[in-house]
């Protein structure tokens, strides 16, 4: 019996649709199955990149460095596989390209992490160096820096333990805060000196200052225990209030308080003049203040007068620091060049003449000092330059004295002891490197315990004079040249047994197994008696080179608290 048309037509249509659906499903399964492994690899590589990105963000890599790769990954995430019903080639190529791109982004991200970590480490090392320089200078001025010394030692320990950018960033932040507090310490000490002078003048006038003496003693204790910028700012405000209290306490104190503050202002004007600064405006203010001082003042007059003095002194202090910094840097550069030109080493190997103070010239710390001066903006910046220049001048004078000293290298040198005394390093272990004598001497509590000859940096890449903390200790390690092959200072990867970092940028005390000769003259071109001719015939790249056995002794008989003095 024939099927009625009303039933047969829908059945055939349904069968045709089912066949087409099954055929499409087969084609889709066939197409997807062929590139499923590729898609899985894309997912794997993407997950690896996302994990690396999360890690980079967690360890403190700056967002500005991560943004470029994040943007590329976002763009990649917005792409889609092409549609292809019968041909899988374009789909396979797409997944292969995406997989490769994620691998490349992961490699790029790893490089960013490494670079960011190295940059953060170098910045932390530089900030700690600047802090140590400022601390040494304040110590020579007799300021109470014990708390800052402990703080520096803690930060050096943290530097040793640091691994990630955020660790180094925290050290840098703390070191900069300490620097700010150190500068405020000097300002507070000056205010206390003025207060002390005021007390003496009031005593000479038979004014009872018992209560003010007690406050002064309390202020000294507070200053000795202060450590943060906020501590010193509060103490400065307290001292100002004590001046006001003295005036309120007795109107007899007004002339003496005014005289003390004007005397401080006058001394700063003379200092500005000695550094070549323009004192015209300040001298006029001082003259006017001295006229006003002769007039009788009531409390309100004194308040107005005091505010004006504070304003003038603040403005003068900024100009004074700027002028002093420029004066000292110019003086330093002039003395370096004059002495270097007058004391040339004649190299018989090549017939050339070389200055013996190259480490202080532009190839050494001279360019650093000029750069710091050029970048200085705030009073704290100029104060840092002043501290740095004063230290550099002192170190230069010690080099000059050591050059004229005929004491054998293996005995204590007077210039060594002066360096230790000047920088308050008579306690603990100190490694002293003499650039003039090409010698290294180790002192323990001011007593010489070991000495040997060394080779320091060549004139164009000198070792850097200064007082440096140990910044890293590596044993063993491999030195890699920062210069490309073909450059005059390139060297192949070099295994090193013992290395002590004394300055950021790769300045080490380390063994140099390729050398046979050490001592005076080996920092210049020469004929090494038995070393590798390719590397032994000139000075180092700024490092201090030692024989292997002596580098072994030095490394194993020093520690992270050892100080390094190069002059």
Query: Are 312 and 257 part of one and the same domain?
Result: yes
Contact 567, 465 (CB under 8 A): yes
How many structural domains does the chain have? 3
Last residue of a domain, one of 172, 193, 214: 172
Query: Are 487 and 528 part of one and the same domain?
Result: yes
Other beta carbons within 10 Å of 348 = 10
Q: Is the peptide bond between 476 and the residue preceding it cis, with omega within 30 degrees of 0?
A: yes
Whether 411 maps to a domain, the answer reads yes
Query: Are 128 and 225 part of one and the same domain?
Result: no
Query: Are 317 and 270 part of one and the same domain?
Result: yes
Specify the pLDDT at position 307: 84
Whether 479 maps to a domain, the answer reads yes
Specify the pLDDT at position 137: 79
Whether 254 maps to a domain, the answer reads yes
Whole-number Cα distances in Å, 9 to 20, 23, 245, 509:
17, 21, 112, 96
DSSP assignment string, 515-545: ----STTTTSS---SSS-HHHHTS-BSSSEE
Query: Are 149 and 206 part of one and the same domain?
Result: no
Query: Are 414 and 556 part of one and the same domain?
Result: yes
Q: CA nearest 251: which of 288, 214, 202, 213? A: 202
Whether 415 maps to a domain, the answer reads yes
Whether 390 maps to a domain, the answer reads no
Query: Are 503 and 556 part of one and the same domain?
Result: yes
Query: Are 321 and 460 part of one and the same domain?
Result: no
- Read off the pTM: 0.74
Whether 501 maps to a domain, the answer reads yes
Query: Are 424 and 560 part of one and the same domain?
Result: yes
Query: Are 152 and 184 part of one and the same domain?
Result: no
Specify the pLDDT at position 87: 64
Whether 80 maps to a domain, the answer reads no
SS (H, E, C) 176-191: HHHHHHHHHHHHHHHH
Domain range for 166 is: 118-172
Give residue-wise pLDDT tens across range 156-180.
889 989 999 999 999 999 999 999 9
Query: Are 192 and 160 part of one and the same domain?
Result: no
Specify the pLDDT at position 35: 67
State residue 381 phi and psi, 5-degree precision.
-60, -45
List of the chain residues with pLDDT < 50? 1-34
Specify the pLDDT at position 533: 66
Specify the pLDDT at position 2: 34
Whether 412 maps to a domain, the answer reads yes
Contact 529, 516 (CB under 8 A): yes
Q: CA nearest 564: which of 464, 475, 493, 494? A: 464
Q: Give the CATH number of the domain where residue 556 resides.
A: 2.40.440.10
CA distance 328 to 386: 7
CA distance 518 to 536: 10
The answer for residues whose C-beta is within 8 angstroms of residue 130's C-beta and 6 or more apart is 175, 179, 384, 388
Specify the pLDDT at position 304: 86
Specify the pLDDT at position 136: 81
Query: Are 510 and 445 part of one and the same domain?
Result: yes
């Amino acid at each position: 019996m024939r099927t009625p048309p009303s039933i047969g037509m829908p059945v055939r249509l349904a069968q045709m649709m089912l066949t087409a659906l099954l055929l499409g499903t087969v084609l889709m399964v066939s197409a997807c199955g062929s590139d499923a492994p590729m898609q899985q690899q894309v997912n794997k590589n993407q997950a690896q990149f996302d994990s690396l990105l999360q890690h980079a963000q967690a360890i403190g890599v700056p967002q500005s460095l991560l943004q470029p790769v994040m943007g590329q990954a976002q763009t990649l995430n917005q792409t889609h596989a092409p549609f292809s019903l019968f041909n899988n080639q374009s789909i396979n190529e797409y997944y292969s390209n995406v997989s490769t791109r994620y691998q490349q982004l992961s490699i790029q991200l790893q490089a960013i992490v490494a670079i960011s970590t190295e940059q953060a480490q170098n910045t932390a090392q530089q900030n700690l160096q600047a802090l140590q320089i400022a601390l040494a200078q304040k110590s020579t001025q007799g300021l109470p820096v014990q708390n800052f010394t402990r703080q520096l030692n803690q930060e050096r320990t943290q530097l040793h333990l640091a691994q990630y950018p955020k660790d180094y960033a925290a050290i840098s932040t703390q070191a900069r805060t300490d620097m700010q507090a150190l500068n405020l310490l000097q300002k507070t000490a000056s205010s206390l000196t003025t207060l002390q002078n005021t007390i003496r003048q009031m005593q000479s006038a038979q004014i009872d200052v018992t209560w003010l003496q007690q406050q002064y003693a309390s202020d000294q204790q507070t200053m000795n225990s202060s450590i943060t910028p906020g501590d010193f700012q509060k103490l400065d405000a307290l001292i100002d209030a004590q001046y006001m209290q003295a005036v309120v306490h007795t109107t007899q104190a007004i002339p003496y308080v005014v005289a003390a503050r004007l005397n401080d202002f006058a001394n700063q004007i003379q200092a500005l003049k000695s550094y070549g600064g323009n004192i015209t405006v300040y001298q006029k203010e001082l003259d006017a203040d001295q006229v006003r001082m002769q007039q009788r003042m009531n409390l309100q007059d004194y308040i107005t007068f005091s505010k004006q003095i504070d304003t003038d002194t603040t403005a003068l202090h900024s100009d004074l620091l700027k002028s002093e910094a420029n004066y000292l840097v110019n003086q330093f550069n002039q003395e370096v060049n004059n002495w270097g030109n007058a004391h040339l080493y004649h190299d018989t190997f090549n017939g050339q003449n070389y200055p013996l103070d190259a480490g202080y010239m532009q190839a050494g710390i001279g360019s650093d000092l000029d750069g710091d001066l050029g970048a200085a903006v705030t009073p704290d910046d100029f104060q840092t330059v002043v501290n740095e220049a004063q230290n550099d001048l002192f170190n230069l004078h010690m080099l000059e004295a050591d050059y004229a000293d005929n004491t054998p290298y293996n005995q204590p040198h007077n210039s060594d002891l002066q360096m230790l005394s000047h920088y308050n390093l008579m306690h603990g272990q100190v490694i002293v490197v003499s650039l003039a004598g090409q010698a290294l001497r180790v002192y323990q509590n001011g007593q010489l315990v070991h000495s040997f000859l060394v080779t320091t940096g060549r004139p164009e890449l000198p070792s850097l004079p200064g007082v440096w903390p140990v910044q890293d200790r590596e044993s063993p390690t491999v030195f890699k040249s920062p210069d490309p092959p073909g450059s005059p200072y390139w060297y192949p990867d070099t295994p090193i047994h013992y290395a002590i970092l004394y300055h950021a940028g790769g300045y080490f005390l380390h063994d140099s197994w390729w050398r046979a000769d050490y001592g005076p003259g080996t920092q210049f071109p020469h004929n090494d008696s038995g070393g590798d001719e390719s590397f032994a015939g000139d000075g180092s790249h700024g490092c201090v080179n030692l024989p292997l056995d002596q580098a072994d002794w030095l490394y194993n008989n020093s520690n992270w608290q050892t100080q390094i003095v190069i002059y």
